[in-house]
Amino acid sequence: MFPFSDRGPRRRPERSGGTAAAPGDMAVPSADPAKASVMTHIGQLVRDGHAEWTMLGNGDVELRFFSGELFLLGDATMTRVM
């Protein structure tokens, strides 16, 4: 799924626009165990340096993998943008 190299995870410099959220800052809902599990695993990818996520003004989350994929995580949907 991700092209890994022996150099380790890449980190991007901070960018302007949006609100960058630290992995621990994203609220993991407890009412839906499946969603909580998915968000926990995505948070681990962010902590490991494979992606970054940003909380958008409308409450959605933009998830950008450093290999180029971009997803919008809505309340009940996950949409691949690129």
For residue range 44-80, what is the model confidence (pLDDT) as tens digits?
Answer: 999 999 999 999 999 899 999 999 999 999 988 899 9
What is the model's pLDDT at position 10? 55
Nearest alpha-carbon partner for 46 in 23, 71, 13, 70: 23
pLDDT of 6-54, one tens digit each?
445 555 544 444 445 554 556 655 688 888 898 899 999 999 999 999 9
User: What Cα–Cα distance (Å) separates residue 18 from each residue in 13, 25, 51?
Assistant: 14, 15, 15
pTM of the model: 0.65
